[in-house]
Structure 1
Amino acid sequence: MSFLKKHWKNILFFAFILLLIIPQTRMPIQVFVQRLVSFSPSERKENEREKLEDYNWNLKQLNGEGVNFSESEGKVAVVNFWATWCPPCVAEMPSFQKLYESYGERVDFYFVTSEKPEKVEAFMKKNDYELPIFLQTYQAPKQLESSVLPTSYLISKSAEIIIDEEGAADWNSAKIRDLLDKLLAE
Structure 2
Amino acid sequence: MKITKQKRNNIIFLIVIALFFIPQARQPIQVFLQKGFALISPSIETDKNQKKLVDYNWKLKDESGTVFNFEAHKGKVVLINFWATWCPPCIAEMPSMQKLYNDYKDKVDFVFITTDYYSEINPFLKKNNYTFKVVRPQEAYPEFFNIISIPRTFLIDKEGNIIIDKNGAANWNSDLVRDTIDHLLN
SS across alignment from 1:149: coil
Structure 2 counterpart of 1:25 = 25
Structure 1 counterpart of 2:176 = 175
Structure 2 counterpart of 1:184 = 185
Q: Quick one: distance in 2 between partners of 1:96 and 1:10?
A: 37
Q: Quick one: distance in 1 between partners of 2:155 and 2:118?
A: 25
* One-letter amino acid of the structure 1 residue matched with residue 100 of structure 2: L
Q: Quick one: distance in 2 between partners of 1:23 and 1:157?
A: 44
Give the percent of matched residue pairs that are identical in Structure 1 and Structure 2: 45
SS across alignment from 2:81: strand
Q: Quick one: distance in 1 between partners of 2:68 and 2:102?
A: 21
Structure 2 counterpart of 1:11 = 11
Contact 2:67-2:138 within 8 A present in 1 as well: no
For 1:52-102, what per-residue CA distance to the aligned partner results, in whole angstroms no more than 9, with x for missing partners?
010011001122221211110000001111011110000000000000000
Greater Cα offset, 152-161 or 15-24: 15-24
Q: Quick one: distance in 1 between partners of 2:98 and 2:13?
A: 34
SS across alignment from 2:52: coil
Structure 2 counterpart of 1:102 = 103
Using structure 1 for the length normalisation, give the TM-score.
0.95
Deviation at 1:171, TM superposition (A): 0.3
Structure 1 counterpart of 2:160 = 159
Structure 2 counterpart of 1:121 = 122
* One-letter amino acid of the structure 1 residue matched with residue 66 of structure 2: E
Structure 2 gap ranges (5+): none
Structure 2 counterpart of 1:40 = 41
Using structure 2 for the length normalisation, give the TM-score.
0.95
